């Protein structure tokens, strides 16, 4: 299209060049449409042999009918448009209670174009009414949640000026909303919270409280302008509760293991002491002494192994990531297990970023448990893997008896195997989570046995 040629959109949006109003143009068009018939009738009337009284009477009648029909056409066109204008003005003013009469199906034929327009306007008004009601209810719910939630919420505009704050935010800054709104984040002491990564845990002191806070920040648009939503949640108390529970679990486990070792040591030491206090030793006192000392040594060794295992579990180093070929690693680990041939179903040739030593230890632990389970039923063990988007999934299936209780699998020092330490699975899950992945165990749904499912970033 040439640059100087007007487009259809320009012809619609530009105002008409005529100075006549729309109703005047409709009237003029109606008069023009009836003009030929009126002229022909008047010509025949005045050229015929009629009395002047008849001629003037019929002339007034013809002109009156012509003008009346023209004005009627004008009103028929203009009045519905005025009604639509009033309806649209009411919608613009958020008055959704007005409805148009004569809509299609309600007093007008279903094929009436004007009735169809009126019906669509009524449907639009009903839709806007429902949407407005839903928006008002959602806004009321949001305001209620904002007021009652025990998390400080702040909204800042593009100039970092505070535009919204809830009650928790007022308590945190020890000021009312009237005193806070309109001030910048720098003057409120929140400038550091609007920078940096999100979410994060940060130690911050505010007029209304200090401690460790979870800082979450996101952006949104209001009236086309960017805003920032800042949420501050006090995590000091939950962290202290978690820390206290962790200490309680630690003390309970350590106390249980120490008591299991000290109780027989104390009993045997008391028996040996009472035996040595006798005036005359029994004939087999030498054997009793050796047996007692052997039990004391065995329990001391068990307690030493326990503390060593716990230290190993608590001092897992951060993984040193490097490129690891998963296929070669699985085949190497499978070759370490000599009690049972490991079936490798395989998968794509993948290279992932991981700590090869830690990942190898994880696979050794899980394969060792799978072989232990499979030997109970003379079953087998198979390994498979695949890539699923941005993750690598590896699973180890055994044909053992399955898991009687999966809730305690990852509890430290819980074991169902005689002589087991109870840290292999816990250590394996820590390694998986340190790599940004996960390790789960569940019974196989299609047949007896267990499946260990390892997911790692690809």
pLDDT tens track for 288-311:
777 777 777 776 776 676 666 566
Alpha carbons 222 and 233: distance in angstroms, whole number: 24
Alpha carbons 296 and 223: distance in angstroms, whole number: 78
Name, in order, each residue with C-beta under 8 angstroms of 311's C-beta and a sequence gap of 6 or more.
none
Check pLDDT > 70 for residue 13. Answer: no
Residues 47 and 62 in one domain: yes
**Could you tell me if residue 139 is inside a domain?**
no
Among 278, 298, 314, identify where a domain stops. Answer: 314
Q: Tell me the mean pLDDT in the region 207-212.
A: 78
**Could you tell me if residue 141 is inside a domain?**
no
Among 234, 260, 291, identify where a domain stops. Answer: 234
| CA nearest to 86, candidates 123, 115, 131, 118 | 118
Residues 326 and 452 in one domain: yes
Residues 448 and 335 in one domain: yes
Residues 380 and 258 in one domain: no
Cis geometry, peptide bond prior to residue 199 (ω within 30 degrees of 0): yes
**Could you tell me if residue 253 is inside a domain?**
yes
Among 172, 200, 234, identify where a domain stops. Answer: 234
The answer to whether the CB of 23 falls within 8 A of the CB of 71 is no
Q: How far is CA 169 from the centre of its chain?
A: 24
CATH no. for residue 409?
3.30.565.10
pLDDT at residue number 260:
64
Residues 243 and 199 in one domain: no
The pairing of strands 322-325 and 209-222 is unpaired
pLDDT at residue number 11:
44
Residues 295 and 376 in one domain: no
Check pLDDT > 70 for residue 401. Answer: yes
**Could you tell me if residue 386 is inside a domain?**
yes
Residues 215 and 254 in one domain: no
**Could you tell me if residue 134 is inside a domain?**
no
Residues 253 and 280 in one domain: yes
pLDDT at residue number 383:
92
**Could you tell me if residue 22 is inside a domain?**
yes
Residues 162 and 230 in one domain: yes
C-beta neighbour count of 358 within 10 angstroms: 21
Give the domain extent around 438: 322-457
The overall pTM is greater than 0.85: no
Residues 305 and 427 in one domain: no
Residues 202 and 225 in one domain: yes
Number of domains in the chain: 4
pLDDT (tens digit per residue) in 224-243: 888 888 888 887 777 667 66
Residues 328 and 453 in one domain: yes
**H helices of 277-380, where?**
285-314, 326-336, 356-375
**Could you tell me if residue 122 is inside a domain?**
no
Alpha carbons 2 and 269: distance in angstroms, whole number: 109
**Could you tell me if residue 128 is inside a domain?**
no
Choice between 337 and 152, residue whose per-residue pLDDT is larger: 152
Q: How far is CA 164 from the centre of its chain?
A: 24
CATH no. for residue 180?
3.30.450.20
């Amino acid at each position: 299209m040439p640059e100087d040629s007007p487009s259809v959109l320009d012809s619609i949006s530009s105002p008409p060049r005529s100075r006549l109003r729309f109703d005047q143009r409709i009237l003029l068009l109606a008069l023009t449409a009836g003009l030929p018939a009126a002229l022909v009738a008047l010509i025949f009337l005045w050229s015929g042999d009629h009395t002047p009284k008849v001629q003037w009477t019929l002339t007034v009648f013809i002109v009156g009918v012509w003008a009346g029909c023209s004005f009627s056409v004008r009103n028929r066109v203009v009045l519905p448009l005025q009604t639509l204008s009033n309806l649209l003005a009411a919608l613009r003013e958020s008055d959704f209670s007005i409805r148009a009469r004569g809509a299609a199906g309600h007093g007008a034929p279903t094929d009436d174009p004007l009735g169809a327009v009126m019906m669509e306007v009524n449907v639009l008004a009903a839709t806007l009414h429902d949407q407005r009601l839903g928006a008002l209810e959602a806004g009321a719910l949001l305001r209620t949640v904002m007021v009652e939630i025990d998390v400080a919420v702040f909204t800042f505009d593009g100039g970092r000026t505070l535009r919204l704050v809830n009650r928790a935010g007022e308590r945190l800054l020890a000021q009312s909303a009237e005193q806070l709104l309109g001030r910048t984040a720098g003057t409120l002491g929140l400038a550091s919270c609007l920078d940096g990564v999100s979410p994060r845990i940060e130690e911050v002191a505010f007029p209304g409280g200090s401690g460790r806070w979870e800082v979450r920040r996101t952006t949104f648009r209001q009236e086309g302008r960017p805003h920032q939503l800042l949420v501050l949640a006090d995590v000091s108390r939950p962290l202290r509760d978690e820390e206290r529970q962790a200490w309680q679990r630690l003390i309970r486990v350590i106390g249980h293991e120490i008591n299991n070792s000290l109780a027989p040591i104390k009993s045997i030491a008391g028996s040996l002491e009472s035996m040595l206090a006798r005036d005359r030793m029994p004939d087999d006192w030498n054997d009793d002494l050796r047996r007692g000392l052997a039990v004391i040594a065995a329990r001391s060794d068990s307690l030493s192994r326990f503390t060593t295992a716990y230290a190993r579990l608590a001092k897992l180093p951060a993984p040193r990531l490097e490129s690891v070929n998963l296929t070669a690693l699985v085949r190497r680990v499978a070759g370490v297990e000599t009690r049972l041939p490991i079936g490798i179903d395989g998968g794509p040739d993948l290279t992932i970023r991981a700590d090869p030593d830690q990942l190898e230890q994880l696979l050794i632990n899980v394969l060792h448990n799978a072989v232990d389970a499979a030997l109970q039923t003379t079953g087998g063990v198979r390994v498979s893997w695949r890539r699923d988007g941005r993750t690598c999934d590896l699973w180890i299936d055994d044909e053992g008896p399955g898991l009687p209780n999966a809730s305690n699998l990852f509890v430290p020092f819980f074991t169902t195997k005689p002589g087991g330490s109870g840290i292999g699975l816990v250590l394996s899950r820590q390694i998986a989570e340190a790599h940004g992945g996960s390790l789960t165990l569940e019974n196989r749904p299609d047949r007896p046995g267990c499946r260990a499912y390892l997911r790692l970033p690809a």
